[in-house]
């Protein structure tokens, strides 16, 4: 019986953590608030689409993840800690941190590299992050 209980405990401990991770992007204020199980964990400046481009509004799930992605569409630009949603759109780090807090992207949601890494890690640990853009 003790062996069975120990096996059950090891199985439970090895199971991935489950949490509800939600990244809420406010395009009008250029902010992202990250919630884990309903509790605000982070509040960061972002850059969304500049004039002539679109960051889509809606609710999405993160699909593909890439620790480092290079844009095929925009001159092989580096996109560290990319979390893709709705096809080719992504939340990713940017080295143009001076532009954060205002519209500057081609449609993706840009974060400071350390913030993108933190969101990437939450998504990796807890599973599919939901992205809500308004």
**pLDDT higher than 60, residue 15:** no
What's the mean pLDDT in 49-63? 97
Structure confidence by residue, pLDDT tens digits, 82-95: 999 998 899 999 99
pLDDT above 90: percentage of residues in the chain = 75
Angle at 131 (CA atoms; ends 76, 38), nearest 5 degrees: 140
Can you give the pTM of this predicted structure?
A: 0.83
Assigned token pair, 74: 């925009």
Residue 46 pLDDT grade (very low, low, confident, very high; cuts 50, 70, 90): very high
* Alpha-carbon distances, residue 56 vs 25, 69, 107, 128 (angstroms): 11, 21, 8, 19
């Amino acid at each position: 019986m003790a062996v069975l209980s120990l096996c059950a405990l090891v199985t439970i401990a090895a199971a991935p953590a489950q949490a509800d991770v939600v990244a809420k992007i406010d395009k009008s204020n250029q902010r992202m608030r990250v919630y884990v199980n309903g509790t605000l964990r982070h509040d960061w400046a972002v850059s969304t689409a500049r004039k002539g481009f679109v960051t889509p509004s809606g609710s999405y799930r993160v699909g593909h993840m890439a620790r480092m992605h290079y844009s095929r569409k925009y001159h092989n630009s580096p996109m560290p800690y990319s979390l893709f949603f709705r096809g080719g759109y992504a939340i990713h780090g940017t080295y143009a941190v001076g532009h954060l807090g205002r519209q500057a992207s081609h449609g993706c949601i840009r974060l400071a590299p350390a913030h993108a890494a933190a969101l990437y890690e939450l998504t990796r640990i807890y599973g599919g992050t939901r992205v809500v853009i308004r």
